[in-house]
Amino acid sequence: MSDHHEPSDSAEARAAELLALVATWTPDVSPGFGPALIGRARAQAAVAAPLRVLGGFLLALGAAAAAQVAARERRE
């Protein structure tokens, strides 16, 4: 036997009222939130672009090396 019971409709309605009370309260976001976030995004974007180029270069280098090894294996 379970000690859990279905809450009544009125209990659910009261719970909904209490959650609505939470919804009415809007916590402030600190004034520095936006500038700090944009600064981090700018810094990460500045690093991400060269990293993408470097990644592309390394991929191309890997592909060239793999092709060279495959060609050598065919000759042998």
Binding mask 24-43 for other proteins (x = CB under 8 A): xxxxxxx--xx-xxx-xxx-
Enter the DSSP assignment of 7. Answer: P
Q: How far is CA 59 from the centre of its chain?
A: 25
Cβ nearer to other proteins, comparing 29 with 70: 29
Q: Which residues contact 10 (CB under 8 A, 6 or more apart)?
A: none
Residue 7 interacting with other proteins (CB under 8 A) = yes
Q: Shortest approach of other proteins to residue 16 CB, angstroms?
A: 6
Q: Which of 1, 45, 47, 70 binds other proteins (CB under 8 A)?
A: 45
The token duo for 74 is 């065919």
